[in-house]
Amino acid sequence: MVIKNERILDIAAEVLARRPDATLQTIADSAGISRTTIFNRYPTRGDLIEALAMDTVARIGAVMQRVPTSMDDDVDVALLAVTVALMPLASRTIFLRLHVDTHDVLETHWIDAVTPLAVYIATLQAHGRLRQDHPYRWLTASYIGLLFAAWDEIESGEIGPVQAARLITQTWLAGAEYAG
Amino acid sequence: MVIKNERILDIAAEVLARRPDATLQTIADSAGISRTTIFNRYPTRGDLIEALAMDTVARIGAVMQRVPTSMDDDVDVALLAVTVALMPLASRTIFLRLHVDTHDVLETHWIDAVTPLAVYIATLQAHGRLRQDHPYRWLTASYIGLLFAAWDEIESGEIGPVQAARLITQTWLAGAEYAG
DNA sequence: CTCATTTTTGATCACCACGTTCAGAAGTTA
DNA sequence: TAACTTCTGAACGTGGTGATCAAAAATGAG
């Protein structure tokens, strides 16, 4: 039976989430395949990690495409919709935080993936819809920071995806909107 | 010359921040000591990582002790003071995010370190000084999320520690205070 | 300064995960 | 059934790690 790369990455994500230093053999066993098969797809351990991270970034990027490009829609509604769509990716985002900072190629892709959001935020601020005394970079970074915080809470089982999305958007908007 | 554990951890943090998979030999060389000496202090690589993370958590915990236990002081002033004191730890917090989630002992210490803040936030909320419609766990998690976001921005050289602290407290307070 | 104690060091060993190869088994497709 | 693709298990070298130890260096007490 021909195993899909997608499935390998799913299993790897699951195993590595618990034990970041898990053996390739362990991952292979969990997927019910040979270590050689993993090698055929991903020649080095780093390649597997990279593919895993890239896939996660790609999924985040796909959701970010749904960020508005104009200001026609209500900000809170549009942002909530995007945030809800991001929540299910929680279990995939654990590595991301460590590797994005040290892996150059990955960091580039990450920036690309998040660009639609950054542009939207910059646009909102330029039109006076967001506070002017914070750099737009921080407005973006703070949203992403809340995103990771919520993903953590979801992973720990404290809150559900829908509630998490509401908390993020409410917290961020209150902090980012112009406060007189 | 007897090298201090403190110095080993400093060098290790510096080297591992750039290359998380750096060799113990590389770390030893950077510190100008023998690999055996590192082994004498930290029998396994995991022990070194753990000690490094524990040290960082301890430093964060030390700062958190300065969180008010009563509500006598102004919230924004008190919070800003603590946040400013946390900013210089930026370079030490890179690993934390990955290991806290998977390392049980570390997670326990992390929770202990952050408890003063969690208690303060819970107290403020109980007295109606923070919005009631968000669980106090989220109020705490969101502050920490912004903390990590700011640490990232500092590490990338985008903003300075003092400005970062201001952005965190302003953003968080606006999002956490009761919005009528 | 001298000597006993502590610490560091370099050398050396086994072990294990990884990178790599390959012939054969298993599966897919024509 | 035959031709192909993919998966598999075994094998080997390499390199980082865990571990030990005697010698060298640093420290501290008298």
Its domain, for residue B72, covers 50-175
Overall average pLDDT of the B166-180 stretch: 89
Contact between chains at A175 and B175 (C-beta distance less than 8 A): yes
Q: Which residues contact B90 (CB under 8 A, 6 or more apart)?
A: B150, B151, B154, B155, B161
**Is B42 part of a structural domain of the chain?**
no
Model pLDDT, residue B119 = 98
* Minimal C-alpha gap between B79 and chain A (Å): 16
Model pLDDT, residue B94 = 85
User: Does A22 lie at the interface with B, CB-CB under 8 angstroms?
Assistant: no
**Is A89 part of a structural domain of the chain?**
yes
Smallest Cβ–Cβ distance between B159 and the set A138, A153, A155 belongs to A138
Model pLDDT, residue B178 = 64
State whether the Cα torsion A102-A108-A109-A113 is positive or negative: positive
**Is B43 part of a structural domain of the chain?**
no
Evaluate if the CB of B24 falls below 7 Å from strand C.
no
Encode pLDDT of B122-153 as tens digits.
999 999 999 999 999 999 999 999 999 999 99
User: Does B111 lie at the interface with A, CB-CB under 8 angstroms?
Assistant: no
Contact between chains at A18 and B102 (C-beta distance less than 8 A): yes
Smallest Cβ–Cβ distance between B138 and the set A94, A145, A167 belongs to A167
Overall average pLDDT of the B90-116 stretch: 93
**Is B22 part of a structural domain of the chain?**
no
**Is A180 part of a structural domain of the chain?**
no
Overall average pLDDT of the A137-162 stretch: 97
Domains in chain B, number? 1
Contact between chains at B98 and A94 (C-beta distance less than 8 A): yes
Residues B53, B61: Cα–Cα separation, whole Å: 12
Write the CATH number for A137: 1.10.357
Smallest Cβ–Cβ distance between B153 and the set A138, A170, A175 belongs to A138
Residue B125 has a CB neighbour count (10 Å cut-off) of 19
Encode pLDDT of A18-67 as tens digits.
999 999 999 999 999 999 999 999 999 999 999 999 999 999 999 999 99
Per the prediction, chain A carries an average pLDDT of 95
Reply yes or no on whether the pLDDT at B81 is more than 70.
yes
Reply yes or no on whether the pLDDT at A180 is more than 80.
no
Residues A70, A64: Cα–Cα separation, whole Å: 14
* pTM exceeds cut of 0.85: yes
